[in-house]
Amino acid sequence: MLSVAEARARIVGSLQPTGAEIVALAEASGRVLAAPVVARLAQPPHDVSAMDGFALRAADGAVGARLRVIGAAPAGHPFGGAIGPGEAVHVFTGSVMPEGADAVTAQEDAVSDDTSITLHEAVRAGRHIRRKGQDFHEGETLLEIGRRLTARDIGLAAAANHPWLAVHRRPVIAVLATGDEIAMPGETIPPGGIVSSNSHALAAFIRARGGVPIILPIAADDRAVIAATAEAASRADLLVTTGGASVGTHDLVQTGLGERGLEVDFWKIAMRPGKPLMFGHLGALPVLGVPGNPVSSLVCGLLFLKPAIERLSGLPGDAPPSEPARCTAALPANDHRADHLRATLARSADGVWDVTPFPVQDSSMLQRLALADALLLRAPNAPAEAEGAMVQVIRLAENGL
Ligand SMILES: Nc1nc2c(c(=O)[nH]1)N[C@H]1C(S)=C(S)[C@@H](COP(=O)(O)OP(=O)(O)OC[C@H]3O[C@@H](n4cnc5c(N)ncnc54)[C@H](O)[C@@H]3O)O[C@H]1N2
Ligand code: MOO
């Protein structure tokens, strides 16, 4: 059986980022750049004053010098003339520096009346001036392809005079739940049936990670129905199936899609929960088959669907980040499957995360998953650990789950 890391590498390695679309700047937050942001102007566009005060020639800047104020240049209204010897112009933060001036005195460093100022601090050349291009120059590349845009980036792109940005299209991801026993929330539940929590949980996760989920109708345990329902996803960027992944006679996803030409890349990996994970292609459509057990489907969502969405969105598609924590319980030795124990986290007085796994870890238990803060990672064949051992955890909410 494949390891988690190998399976993820094969999924991510087979996916291509979506094409570019142009969106208004306000819509670009959280999206991934498909073209670099190049400055369309210098910032600041001119030499400007960094203070409310008076622009003057540093040659006139001795303590006690008295200068004639020949005008004012509020921000947005540059001074039309030039400053000569013994002259000053009233400027404000952001005012374009008047011609002839090479320094600014802050207004609290001079005594002024209506027509003149007297300096009580010496002024050297360049004082309180922001130079043209101090922040960035015209033509400078400010943000590179593949960057997920933050609010700071949006501000920078706006300052560089970009009303639109080229970003990768949000990947469209179809979710197909299978099983005679499942019904959509609110529908009549068949005898012995349950509600399809997986469709909605996966769709919410896809949306939280920046994808566009499409919930397909539930497909009965029937090869032809599964194949026909999946047909609706042929224009999606990825099809995620849930259920029917295991070895039972009613686990028909592979055989149903197989009749339409599904090529299976791999099936089954050395992990718990999530062993029957399947990945393949139906023509050009990548297909990720996650198990039906609700916890298994979401753990597979975190470990494989998240990197897949990121890769489709133009990012590298890395593993969700893990971090150290101290386990409050003794841990038994692990078998050959990488384990992902649902656990709570609490900050201890010494600043370390304390992690406590739930004593029962059945992969049908959604309430436990909802109350968990993290997955506690157990490597294949990890030895038993005493209480207090340091382990690695993946936090859930921080990863959109
Ligand atoms: N003989 C074996 N049996 C099983 C094995 C195995 O290796 N040998 N693997 C087990 C493991 S591990 C898992 S995980 C499950 C996965 O099974 P499937 O993916 O085939 O899922 P189903 O059989 O369709 O359903 C399992 C379980 O989950 C419920 N379910 C299904 N769909 C949904 C949904 N959309 N929303 C909520 N719950 C759903 C379903 O009712 C079942 O209770 O197989 C083990 N068996
Ligand atoms: O792999 Mo199953 O997902 O253990 O429950």
pLDDT tens digits, one per residue of 145-199: 999 999 999 999 999 999 999 999 999 999 999 999 999 999 999 899 999 999 9
85 preceded by a cis bond (ω within 30 of 0): no
Domain boundaries in the chain? 4-17+170-312, 20-43+135-168, 48-130, 323-399
* pLDDT of amino acid 165: 98
* pLDDT of amino acid 118: 97
CA nearest neighbour of 206 among 183, 235, 246, 237 = 237
* pLDDT of amino acid 305: 98
**Is the torsion defined by CA of 210, 215, 219, 225 positive or negative?**
negative
* pLDDT of amino acid 280: 96
Which residues, listed in sequence order, are joined to residue 272 by a DSSP beta bridge? 339
Q: Are strands 164-168 and 238-242 parallel, antiparallel or unpaired?
A: unpaired
Which residues, listed in sequence order, are joined to residue 302 by a DSSP beta bridge? none
CATH 2.40.50.140 for domain 48-130, yes or no, is no
| Domain with residues 323-399, CATH architecture | Beta Barrel (2.40)
* pLDDT of amino acid 252: 85
Buried b (16+ CB within 10 A) or exposed e, 297-330: bbbbbbbbbbbbbbbbbbbebebbeeeebebbbe
**Cβ < 6 A, ligand 2 pocket:** 272-275, 291, 293, 296, 363
Q: What ipTM does the predicted assembly reach?
A: 0.97
Residue whose structure tokens are 């679309």: 21
Mutate to test the pocket of ligand 2, among 278, 293, 298 (most ligand atoms within 8 A of CB): 293
Cβ of 273 closer than 6 Å to ligand 1, yes or no, is: yes
C-alpha 362 – ligand 1 centre gap (Å): 12
Neighbouring residues of 133: CB distance < 8 A, sequence distance ≥ 6? 42, 43, 44
**Regions of the chain short of the pLDDT cut 50:** none
* pLDDT of amino acid 251: 73
C-alpha 360 – ligand 2 centre gap (Å): 14
Cα dihedral value 304, 310, 311, 313, nearest 10: 140
| Domain with residues 20-43+135-168, CATH architecture | Alpha-Beta Complex (3.90)
Alpha-carbon span 199 to 17, nearest angstrom: 24
Q: Are 190 and 181 in contact (CB under 8 A)?
A: yes
Looking at domain 4-17+170-312, which of 3.10.129.10, 3.40.50.1820, 3.40.980.10, 3.20.20.140 is its CATH number? 3.40.980.10
CA nearest neighbour of 233 among 260, 208, 266, 194 = 260
